[in-house]
Structure 1
Amino acid sequence: MSRVWSVDVRVTPREGILDPAGETIRRALGNLGYEGVHSVRAGRLIRLEVEADGPEAARASAEKMCEQLIANPIIEHYVVRVREG
């Protein structure tokens, strides 16, 4: 039986890929006096509500969405988290 699942997708740049937004944040934090911040990786959070037969089906659907549209797998890494909606 289908139900709605809340799915969070966190997308971040892969290690070794330049992250201009993260570097800008790091510099701004330094300017605000937070000198101990050595690295910042900026990303984005996408929240989906997915109808599926179970959490694994919701995860599989979200992963397919990531591969086709949400993330660029060449330069980005994504993590999918499913919870009951």
Structure 2
Amino acid sequence: MPRIVVDVMPKPEILDPQGKAIVGALPRLGFTAFSGVRQGKRFELTVEGPVTEEILEQARNAAATMLSNPVIEDVVNVEVLPEDGAEVRADADAAEVD
């Protein structure tokens, strides 16, 4: 079944205590290349049947009115995942240790 992904992030002017805690912990764990972290939310909406423009518009409206708090958050992405479930992102398996 197709899925629509909605990504929500805190507005830039909003303090992100979870992000601050994570960026403080990264160097202690050996990850020294990162100078900032912002933590957001990801929603996956499953759709019965094909994703039409009308359904995508409903997802955008749900993102703006229910999935995010427009006072402190921005909807930064609303997209349809490919049917095979593959995503364009870094390969997490490459970092695994045998």
Q: TM-score, normalised by structure 1?
A: 0.79
CA distance in 2: counterparts of 1:54 and 1:66, whole angstroms:
16
Superposed CA offset, 1:38-71 (max 9, x none): 1101112110113477432222111111122110
Identity of aligned residues (%): 33
More strand by share: 1
Residue range with higher mean Cα deviation, 45-54 or 63-72: 45-54
Question: Is residue 2:28 matched to residue 1:38?
Answer: no
Count of aligned positions: 82
Poorly superposed stretches of 4+, deviation over 3 Å: 51-55
Unaligned residue ranges in structure 2 (runs of 5+): 84-98
Match of 1:62 in 2: 59
Unaligned residue ranges in structure 1 (runs of 5+): none
